Amino acid sequence: MVSAGIDIGSRSIECVLIENGLIKAARKTDTGYDPMSQAKKLIADLSFDSILATGYGRNLFELEYDSKTVTEIKAHAKGARFSFPEALTILDIGGQDSKVIRLDITGKVVRFEMNDRCAAGTGKFLEIMAQALGFSMDTFGTAAKNAQKSLGISSMCTVFAESEVTSLLARGENPEEIAKGLHQSVVKRAAAMLNRVSPEGPVVFTGGVAKNTCIVKFLEQTIHREVWVPESPEMNGAIGAALIAGEN
């Protein structure tokens, strides 16, 4: 039995195939302007016995493929447990949203909170800031890690933060220190959400932003808790969806 999970997010689409509890394939593409045709292309050459969709595009997918759907919340809970069976807290920071989920010991969701109304504190925020500072996404985290001190950025709003960055640069401030300040502002926001929703124990950190090792390091330093990052953190939702597809 091969089960597939597809996570159709606002910025990227991931697909995972699972057979006998092992990941057989994992791939991803940009959402672009036409999520459905992108999703179709992504799975065109795959064969599976069942498929389940999650993410913002799940309902469109359901219409075309007659597949079942679950919310990102449930999919992430399942995916995190696959990588870390003892997981009780999940932080997911994706391209355009962030969320914290708390599980009970059986893996059931007991509480969650989402920020999906603005780009503040998400991957998009970091991308725009990297651009404003002239870094590529690959060098941005390293630059922040290297900085001696951190320049506080007071605006969380992407638009305001961008103009704050521009005026700091104009004042001749060090870009690495600004980068550090920006990373820390994302971490602060995540830490506040974690403290509200699930204030204790190790945190499973998923989503594209979890690949930024600087964010991971700052997060650990800020919340004084262990942070566990799965091998492919951006695949977590799709893994969860594939697992749930396999159950049905």
Partner 1 sequence: MKAQLFKKLQQITEQNLMDIESHKQNGNHAIGFYCLYAPTELATAADAIPLPLCGTRQDPIEAAEEALPRNLCPLIKSSYGFAASDTCPFFRFSDMIVADTTCDGKKKMFELMNRITPVHVLQLPQQQNTDLFLDPWKAEISLLKQKVENLTGKQITDQDISNAIQLLNREREALKRLMDVTRAIPSPLTGMELIEILFKTGFFADKHKGIAIMDEIADACETMVQNGESPFKKTTPRILMTGVPVGLGSDKVIRIIEESGANVVAFENCSGYKKTFQVDETKDPLTALAETYLSIPCSVMSPNPGRFDLLEEMITGFSVDGVVDLTWQACHTYNIEAYGVQEFVADRFALPYLHIETDYSQSDTEQLRVRIEAFLEMI
Q: How large is the greatest C-alpha to C-alpha distance in the chain, in angstroms?
A: 61
By CB under 8 A, is residue 155 in contact with partner 1? no
User: 6, 73, 93, 187: which one contacts partner 1 (CB under 8 A)?
Assistant: 73
Q: In terms of CB distance, is 73 or 120 closer to partner 1? A: 73
Q: In terms of CB distance, is 46 or 114 closer to partner 1? A: 114
User: 109, 128, 137, 156: which one contacts partner 1 (CB under 8 A)?
Assistant: 109
User: 7, 14, 72, 234: which one contacts partner 1 (CB under 8 A)?
Assistant: 72
Q: What is the DSSP string of 89-118?
A: EEEEE-SS-EEEEEE-TTS-EEEEEEE-SS
By CB under 8 A, is residue 114 in contact with partner 1? yes
By CB under 8 A, is residue 52 in contact with partner 1? no
By CB under 8 A, is residue 61 in contact with partner 1? no
Cα atoms in the Cβ-side hemisphere of radius 13 Å centred on 178 = 24
Other CB atoms within a 10 A radius of the CB of residue 64 amount to: 11
Cα gap 30→73, rounded to integer Å: 21
Q: In terms of CB distance, is 74 or 189 closer to partner 1? A: 74
By CB under 8 A, is residue 29 in contact with partner 1? no
E-state strands within 60-189: 68-69, 89-93, 98-103, 109-115
Footprint of partner 1 on 182-241 (CB under 8 A): none
By CB under 8 A, is residue 71 in contact with partner 1? yes
User: 70, 178, 191, 242: which one contacts partner 1 (CB under 8 A)?
Assistant: 70
User: 47, 117, 154, 247: which one contacts partner 1 (CB under 8 A)?
Assistant: 117
The two tokens of residue 69 are 């759907």
CB of 221 to partner 1, least distance (A): 28
E-state strands within the chain: 2-8, 12-19, 22-30, 50-54, 68-69, 89-93, 98-103, 109-115, 203-206, 227-228
Residues within the interface to partner 1 (CB under 8 A): 56, 70-74, 108-112, 114, 116-117
